[in-house]
Structure 1
Amino acid sequence: MSESWFHWALMSAVFAALTAIFAKLGLQGIDSDFATLIRTVVILLVLGAIVLALGKWRNPFALEPRTLLFLVLSGLATGASWLCYFRALKLGEASKVAPVDKLSLVLVAIFAVIFLGERPDARSWLGIALVALGVLILGFKR
């Protein structure tokens, strides 16, 4: 497979889209928090098998404390995001929930400027603004 970030990002988008569809279908007759737990266990088992099979396992407690802290915080944020996302999917239509969820793209750009010192160019800001506009158009009723 290609080592291009863009290739991997496109694949991420495809799998994220499938996540919304599969989750919406799987949420019939089940609590959204319990559904999130099942999803998380599946991810843990599959990713654990991949890491072990590829010989990538390391002792997580041997990591630098700062690295471990930010990975734990990332995991907590991911868990909170998944709980909210599945609750939104349970209550709303996937075609409306997913675009609003993608407001995270805009927030990532803003947070990257504030916390990481990144400086998107004018073309990037235009794309980010268009995503924000799309979320507003799709996510909010008149």
Structure 2
Amino acid sequence: MKSVLASWQLWAMGSAVFAALTAIFAKVGIEGVSSDFATFIRTIVILASIAFILSVTGSWQEPATVSAKSWLFLVLSGLATGASWLCYFRALKLGNASQVAPVDKLSVVLVAAFAAVFLGERLSPMHWLAVCFIATGAVMLTLRI
């Protein structure tokens, strides 16, 4: 069982399931609420949830033990996450969840490209083909035909 819990695939699938639920719950919850305020509520819930998990698991860490580089990139990641959430909730307010979510998932395509350019990660030709399929599928899901 421990090896299953250490599997990145399990956690990635959990991320996908919860991301899907996020879209559905947010689309219903955003009715009559500004998208920015909805993002604020979501952020408070996440902050409280993570603080609870850190407390239960004893995972709190002294801020001074985090390197300056880690601080910089975690802050940048937090800013990017906040911007992503603001954009996502605004898009959900204006569009259909079944169209917004696939476009949001173009992040998969962008991660592959950015990882190759900035992190030096190498994808095989078959993987690049799969990335192209993801992009094509995401775009096709936005079309109303």
TM tier relative to shorter chain: over 0.9
Aligned to 2:87: 84
Q: 2:33 aligns with which of 22, 30, 34?
A: 30
Establish whether residue 128 from structure 1 lines up as the match of residue 141 from structure 2: no
Aligned to 1:15: 18
- CA distance in 1: counterparts of 2:104 and 2:46, whole angstroms: 20
TM-score (structure 1 length as normaliser): 0.96
SS of corresponding position for 2:130: helix
Q: 1:113 aligns with which of 113, 116, 141?
A: 116
TM-score (structure 2 length as normaliser): 0.94
Establish whether residue 49 from structure 1 lines up as the match of residue 52 from structure 2: yes
Question: Which runs of 4 or more aligned residues in structure 1 lie more than 6 Å from their structure 2 counterparts after TM superposition?
Answer: none
Q: 2:141 aligns with which of 129, 135, 138?
A: 138
User: What's the C-alpha RMSD, in Å, of the aligned pairs?
Assistant: 1.3
- CA distance in 1: counterparts of 2:65 and 2:14, whole angstroms: 31
Per-residue deviation, 1:60: 2.2
Per-residue deviation, 1:137: 1.3
Q: Is the Cα–Cα contact under 8 Å of residues 102 and 139 in structure 2 kept in the other structure? A: no
Aligned length in residues: 142
- CA distance in 2: counterparts of 1:6 and 1:122, whole angstroms: 22
5+ residue gaps, structure 1: none
Establish whether residue 58 from structure 1 lines up as the match of residue 61 from structure 2: yes
SS of corresponding position for 2:134: helix
5+ residue gaps, structure 2: none
